[in-house]
Structure formats: C-alpha cells, structure tokens
Amino acid sequence: MKRDLLSIADLSRADIERVLNRAESFAEVSGREIKKVPTLRGRTVINLFYEASTRTSSSFELAAKRLSADLVNIKSVGSSVDKGESLKDTVHTLSAYDPAAIVIRHPHAGAAGLVSRWTAASVVNAGDGKHEHPTQALLDLYTLKRRLGGLDGVKVWIVGDVLHSRVARSNIIGLTKMGVDVTVCGPPTLIPRDVESLGCRVRWSLDGIGDADVIYALRMQHERMTGSFVPSLREYAAQYQIDSRRLAPNQLLMHPGPVNRGVELSAEVIDSPQALIVQQVESGVVVRMAVLYELLTGGGDAARAARGRAGQAAPTEPQPA
C-alpha cells in the first residue's frame, strides 16, 4: 500500500482485500475483554478534525487506542485554527511532534492531499469536502462482505443526494473495484452530471429497485433543503424514502449515519433485521485499526522510509496485550 490513504481509488483490489482481512483479525481481538494490542506502542496518531464528526472521529480514536498508539485529538474549534492559522502552518506545527499518522477531516476537497505534501507522517483522509471518505467505503465493504460472504456480482443501489456525498463517491469507486454492480438513484438535481463515468448506472426513480441486493440510503442534509434541489422534504420522502413497502425481505439496507428518521428512511426499516446500520458502526473501529496498521507497518513504513523519514519503532504483529 501507499504511504497515505487519500482516496479509495489509490487502492488496488488486492490492497482492499488485505485491509478487509486485517480488519477480520482485529475483529477477533475486539471480541475479547481486553481489546488492546501493542502494535503501535510509542507511536503518535493525530486526529485533526475541521468538521463536526461523531462516528468517524470516535472510531479513529478507538482504533488508535486499541493499537496502543498515543493519540492527540484536535478540533478546529478552540484550537489555533480558530485564530486564523493556515492549514499548512497547523500541519507543520503538528509534524514537529513527529506523528506516525495524521487523520484529517476537512470541509474541502483535496485537503488531505495537501497535508500529505507538508508532512512526513502517513495521512489518512477521514473525509475531504464532497470528494472522498475512503475509510467509510472500506468499512461498508467489510460490513457487506461479512454479511454476504462475497461481493462479486452483488447489486447495490445508492439512493439520495449523490451530488454532495463523499460517501457515495468513495463507495461507487470502492464497490465497483470489488466487482459490485452499482446503480445510483436520486433527484436529478442531486445526481452529478457525467457520474456514469465512475462506472455506475443512473436512475431517477425507485422503479426497479427490486433488483437490488443492497439498498444504500444516503443522508439527506437539511442545508440542501434551503436551495431548490428538491421542492420539499415531503416530496423527497414520497419519491425516495426507503420504507417497508420498498424494502423487500431479501434486501439489505445500509446508511452511513446519522439518519434522518422519516426522511430518507422510515422508522420501521431502520429497526428491521435487514438493516446493517449498527454493524457499519461496529466495523468502523476494526477497519480503521486495519488501515492504521497497514499504513504504519509494512508497506506504509517502507514508503515513508523511502522518503527519508524512518526511525520509528519497529512494527510488531498484532497480539493480545
């Protein structure tokens, strides 16, 4: 694997499979009473979050802690970012602590790529604007693979606001890479022009959603309602809400969270046995452990050393602490 995880597009199918297998081995650790391994002992991981986040930041935090890394959480509110420090200067400052990895969430596309130019640490993109959210795609792949056994030929419909969704973009790329047949569906105002070039099909209505093995509903963000992307939440729900009429018993349901109950999903499907939403959250920790492990030991280390900045603790295999 490369030194950084900036985009799911940077991973080969074999890379993705390695991460998913590694996550599987960490899942076994997570089942124990003491969920820690000493793999990253003495190494520092910095969580640098320029946007509000619950799932992603907490699961990265748990992942780093379960790998025994020292963790620093930085949120833009209350930090020097508040005082007008540029991203570049913040990254230079944090790099002076010699972190092994910087996990960054930022409201603008390409921010993680910029950070990787300014630091010797491995950079993990935890969401950059509407661009990508590669660890979300990996945890979704992991969740789905665990449930279905395999991914080749599986039919997934991604439903909702694709235009503003980094989750959709990373998932279209990641799922397609793993042999999944992807259809995106949503209001024509919220489907990016030429999105077919990413290798998916486009549908404007839910007609035909019966063909899907998996329905992946996206969060309908309230701020999109103020524009004229959709006439009203009511109209959106009438056209695109996944409810018990539209979700067949043989179909699985996914959602990246947080859910707007009664908008993109009805309450009964959220609580149905077909919903994998809680499993997705569970997967978040082990998949992010696997990403940190793969980047900070083995391949990622070699790439970092090649850039003349090794000198960090030797990696160890995961073992119960």
Partner 1 sequence: MSPQLDHNAQHRPGADLLIRGARLLDPAAGIDQEAELLVRGGQVAAIGADLERPDGAEVVDAAGLHAFPAFVDPHVHLRTPGREDEEDLDSGTRAAAAGGYCAIIAQPNTDPVVDSAPIVESLRERARAEARIPTGFMAAITRGQKGEGLTEMAELAAAGAFGFTDDGLPVVRAGVLRQALQYQRLAGLPIALHEEDPSLSAGGAMHEGAVSALLGIGGIPSISESTMIARDAAIAGYEGGCIHIQHVSAKESVAAVENAKAAGVRITAEVSPHHLTLTDEAVRALDANFKMNPPLRAEDDRQVLIEALRSGTLDFIATDHAPHAREEKEQPFETAPFGITGLETAFAVLYTHLVKPGVLPLDVIVDRLSAGGPVFGIDQPTLAPGAPANITLVDLEAEWQVGEAGYESRSANSAWDGETFQSRVRMTVAAGGVAYRERSFAIGAVA
Q: Does residue 187 have a cis bond before it (omega within 30 degrees)?
A: no
Q: Is 110 among the residues that bind partner 1 (CB under 8 A)?
A: yes
In the complex, least distance from residue 114 CB atom to partner 1, rounded to whole angstroms: 6
In the complex, least distance from residue 192 CB atom to partner 1, rounded to whole angstroms: 4
In the bound state with partner 1, the residue whose beta carbon lies nearer, of 117 and 245, is 117
Q: Is 114 among the residues that bind partner 1 (CB under 8 A)?
A: yes
- Taking residue 10's Cβ as centre, other Cβ atoms within 10 Å add up to 15
Q: Is 87 among the residues that bind partner 1 (CB under 8 A)?
A: yes
**Order of all β-strands in the sheet with 155-159:** 201-203, 181-185, 155-159, 214-217, 252-254
In the bound state with partner 1, the residue whose beta carbon lies nearer, of 118 and 282, is 118
In the bound state with partner 1, the residue whose beta carbon lies nearer, of 22 and 106, is 106
Residue with tokens 């105002």: 189
* ∠ Cα 166 271 186 (to 5°): 35
In the complex, least distance from residue 195 CB atom to partner 1, rounded to whole angstroms: 5
Distance set, CA 100 to CA 43, 45, 119, 122, 136 (Å): 6, 6, 10, 6, 21
Tell which one of 4, 15, 132, 181 touches partner 1 (CB under 8 A): 132
The 8-class DSSP code of residue 218 comes to P
Of the ranges 64-72, 123-131, 259-267, 309-317, which one interacts with partner 1 (CB under 8 A)? 123-131
Residues that bind partner 1 (CB under 8 A): 86-88, 106, 108-111, 113-114, 128-132, 164-166, 169, 192-195, 197-198
